[in-house]
Amino acid sequence: MAPRTLGLILTYNGERLLARCLASLSFCDEILVVDSLSTDATCDIAGAAGATLLTRRWEGPGPQFRFALEHIRTMQPQVDWVVSLDQDEYLTGELATNIRAAVNASATEDDELAGYWMPRSSYYFDRFMRHSGWYPDRLLRLFRPARMEVHVSGAHYSFRPLGETGRLTGDIIHYPYRNFREHLDKINSYAQQGADALKARGRPGGVLAGTAHGLARFAKLYLLKLGLLDGRAGYINAVHGAFYAFLKHVRACEGEDWGPRP
């Protein structure tokens, strides 16, 4: 029997690129969308594409993925492989072909691999970034559901394999932000989560720590990671990265309320 493949997408107000994301997963035997109570056309787009739709209030990437994987592991017929994409990503034709080949080969070869890493190419400001720590940005996005665990750090998640892995060529295409406003909104959210994590570990933060970490972050992104070769986009990204680091450490030391106490 041919291995059964499922495409998995977590969504929230993802109408911008969801149709293209779903279309790139059309080779999968089934597509599962777990939506966090979207208020735009996300659910309609998922339904029109024939995806199975589950809804669940967002409690963070860890609980959301664990909910999805628990559902996948009880499905019949059994799911052998999962291809996971974010709602603002889609597969190139080359990568989709290579995923299909890897899945088909697993049925005929002595293949014990837990999953496959693949590069992600992200667009920022006016170009696809090729430096700045953004590329090749290899991610484990094809995996056997029983041989993977979800790791969460603040607002970010990753899949960790439980066994040997391989690599595939071809890119995941990623459009993370519509504009600078959206990027800054995410920086604001991520900085707060990062500050909360610092507080939970008993680290006080502060202006001096924020300044030092901000400067170090800029140097890492723009110089060590060769962001200067990404032109204006690389410089802007490095400045935003520095601001995120500064904001996170400053927020870790602020009080509950700046105003007068009653």
Unique residue bearing structure tokens 């779903």: 22
Contact 99, 141 (CB under 8 A): no
- Is pTM beyond 0.85? Reply is yes
Tens of pLDDT along the chain (262 residues) come to 789 999 999 999 999 999 999 999 999 999 999 999 999 999 999 999 999 999 999 998 999 999 999 999 999 999 999 999 999 999 999 999 999 999 999 988 777 899 999 999 999 999 999 999 999 999 999 999 999 999 887 677 899 999 999 999 999 999 999 999 999 999 999 999 899 989 999 988 999 999 999 999 999 999 999 999 999 999 999 999 999 999 999 999 987 677 776 6
Tokens coding 224: 């060590």
Given CATH 3.90.550.10, say whether it is the number of domain 5-174.
yes
Amino acid 14: pLDDT: 97
Q: How long is the chain? A: 262
Amino acid 111: pLDDT: 74
Amino acid 156: pLDDT: 77
Amino acid 97: pLDDT: 98
Q: Other C-beta atoms within 10 Å of 8: how many?
A: 24
Cα atoms in the Cβ-side hemisphere of radius 13 Å centred on 248: 25
> Which residues are registered as beta bridge partners of 43?
none
Return phi, psi of residue 257, to 5°: -150, 130
Name the segment(s) of the chain with CATH classification 3.90.550.10.
5-174
Unique residue bearing structure tokens 């291809």: 83
